[in-house]
C-alpha cells in the first residue's frame, strides 16, 4: 500500500466529509503567506490560522520565485489579498546545498542540467530579504506596502522578523 492509499483511507474515516464551510475563495484576512514546504513548519499553528483566512504558498525554501509572483498576482488582483508574509526557516535544506552542487548532481544522474535556479542560500535572513525585495519591486503586484519577512526556528518555534 502506498502512502497515498493511506491518505485516502484516512479520508474515509476522517472528519472532512462535508462542505469546507468557507463560503468564499477570498481570504478573510486578505493576507498571503509564502513559506517553505519543510514538513516541520506548522503554518496554521505558527499564526493561529483558521481555514479561509489566508492564502498559503509553499515551495522549497519559501522563495519568491517567478511562479510565486504569478500566484501572488492572482491572489491580489482576483482574490483580494493586500499583505504578504515571507516566512523562511532555520536549518532549511536550501542552506545545505549550493546551486552548482545540486545542478551537477542532477546533470550527472540525468544528463540534463536544470534551467531553473535552485535558490540555495547560506544565510536565511539574506534569502528572506531577497524575496521581500523581489515582491516589493514586482510590477505585477498592486499591493506592496505591507510586505514583512520572518525566520521561523524549527527547533524552538520562535519567530524573528527580518528587516
Ligand atoms: Zn526549508
CATH number of the structural domain spanning residue 44: 3.40.1050.10
Residue 87 alpha carbon to ligand 1 centre in Å? 10
Residue 19 belongs to a domain: no
Residue 1 scores a pLDDT above 90: no
State the pLDDT at residue 135.
98
Residue 116 alpha carbon to ligand 1 centre in Å? 17
Domain count, the chain: 1
Q: Domain range holding 39?
A: 24-162
Q: Which of 18 and 29 is assigned the larger pLDDT? A: 29
Which of the four pLDDT bands, split at 50, 70 and 90, describes residue 12?
Answer: confident
Above pLDDT 90, what percent of the chain?
88
Residue 95 alpha carbon to ligand 1 centre in Å? 8
Closest-CA residue to 132 (of 77, 61, 63, 48): 63
Residue 91 alpha carbon to ligand 1 centre in Å? 7
Residue 9 belongs to a domain: no
Which of the four pLDDT bands, split at 50, 70 and 90, describes residue 17?
Answer: low
Residue 15 belongs to a domain: no
Residue 40 alpha carbon to ligand 1 centre in Å? 9
Residue 115 belongs to a domain: yes
Contact (CB, 8 A) for 62 and 87: yes
Residue 151 belongs to a domain: yes
Query: In whole angstroms, what is the distance from residue 118 CA to residue 121 CA?
Result: 9
Above pLDDT 70, what percent of the chain?
96
Amino acid at each position: 500500500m502506498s502512502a497515498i492509499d493511506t491518505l485516502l483511507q484516512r479520508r474515509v474515516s476522517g472528519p472532512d466529509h462535508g462542505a469546507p464551510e468557507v463560503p468564499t475563495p477570498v481570504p478573510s484576512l486578505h493576507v498571503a503567506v509564502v513559506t517553505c514546504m519543510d514538513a516541520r513548519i506548522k503554518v496554521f499553528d505558527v499564526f493561529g490560522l483558521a481555514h479561509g483566512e489566508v492564502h498559503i504558498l509553499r515551495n522549497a525554501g519559501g522563495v519568491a520565485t517567478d511562479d510565486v509572483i504569478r500566484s501572488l498576482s492572482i491572489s491580489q488582483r482576483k482574490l483580494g489579498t493586500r499583505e504578504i508574509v515571507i516566512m523562511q526557516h532555520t536549518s532549511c535544506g536550501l542552506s545545505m546545498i549550493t546551486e552548482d552542487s545540486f545542478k551537477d548532481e542532477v546533470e550527472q544522474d540525468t544528463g540534463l542540467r536544470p534551467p531553473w535556479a535552485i535558490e540555495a542560500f547560506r544565510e536565511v535572513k539574506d534569502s528572506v530579504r531577497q524575496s521581500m525585495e523581489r515582491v516589493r519591486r514586482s510590477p505585477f503586484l498592486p499591493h506592496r506596502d505591507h510586505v514583512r519577512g520572518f525566520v521561523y526556528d524549527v527547533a524552538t518555534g520562535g519567530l524573528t522578523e527580518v528587516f
